[in-house]
Amino acid sequence: MKIYLDLVILINFCYDLLLLMSVSVILKRQAKLYRLIIASLLGTISIVMLFLPINKIVLFLLKILFSVGMIIISFGFKSIKSFINNMMYLYMCSVILGGFLYFLNIEFKTDKFSVNYLVLLIVAPGILYLYYKEHKRFASTYNYNLNVSICFCNGKTYSCNGFVDTGNKLRDPITGKYVIILSRKILVNLINIRSPIYVSYKALNKKGLIECFKIKYIKVNDIILTNYLVGISNDEFNLGESQCLLNYKILEDICLKD
């Protein structure tokens, strides 16, 4: 049986690209297309190694190493948990797609390359559409994720990613300052609150008071804003990579000072 190395490399590249796109869609990663392409090109090298006289154990370890490289190139390394999730879903998608191909090859007993082409034609458009749709959603919400530096009255500074919550229009009626929110867990080692300000809020038919305190300023995209308080949340946020819940007024302030 003749083996066309160029076709093997092309098909493997396409599968690697589809696998990485699948991981990006499932885990909602903000992965650039060019990074996925570079990672897929790296993955094709592992196919070339199959034709070299390499020990099976060494080959297995090299494949894992290449998988690690593909994940880091595609999604970066932000945390151990995120990296492990990326690796797990890469192998899960690989097993599912590989098992599907194996089933088709056994069931129809036809030329392997013909089945591979068929699967590419069927699966690729769906994954590409989902990737484009997810990427477009990320692009539409990107402007709501801002780099924030908070300067406290004790001189300490905390930098983080902030998410602009369009529903957060909380404002202290006495000082006229708007409120951004941080988790109490983050603030424990940054500041001792001696004179808190309590601001009333209403959310989902629930009323209450949120503990706030004064700060020197916040810096958002290199723009300094002073008309803000920091509110303390006893709960941790589920905002992905963002640690701060910003007030919707910030978008207006940035536009006015930009």
Strands (E), 13-140: none
Question: In terms of Cα–Cα distance, which of 195, 156, 160, 194 is closest to 180?
Answer: 160
Of the two residues 1 and 80, the one the predictor is more confident about is 80
pLDDT tens digits, 122-133: 666 666 667 666
CA distance 137 to 168: 21
In this predicted structure, the answer to whether residue 1 has a pLDDT above a threshold of 50 is no
Domain 145-256, architecture per CATH: Beta Barrel (2.40)
- Strand order in 206-214's β-sheet? 197-203, 206-214, 228-233, 178-183, 244-246, 157-164, 145-151, 217-220, 223-225
Residue spans of the domains in the chain: they are 5-140, 145-256
Average pLDDT of 240-252? 82
pLDDT value at position 110?
55
CA distance 124 to 179: 46
CA distance 20 to 186: 33
CA distance 219 to 215: 11
In this predicted structure, the answer to whether residue 150 has a pLDDT above a threshold of 90 is yes
Q: How many residues does the chain have?
A: 258
What letter does residue 123 receive in the DSSP assignment? H
The token duo for 22 is: 């699948």
Considering Cα of 191, then 193, then 199, then 201, what sign does the dihedral take? positive
Contact in structure between 150 and 191 (CB atoms under 8 Å): no
In this predicted structure, the answer to whether residue 190 has a pLDDT above a threshold of 80 is yes
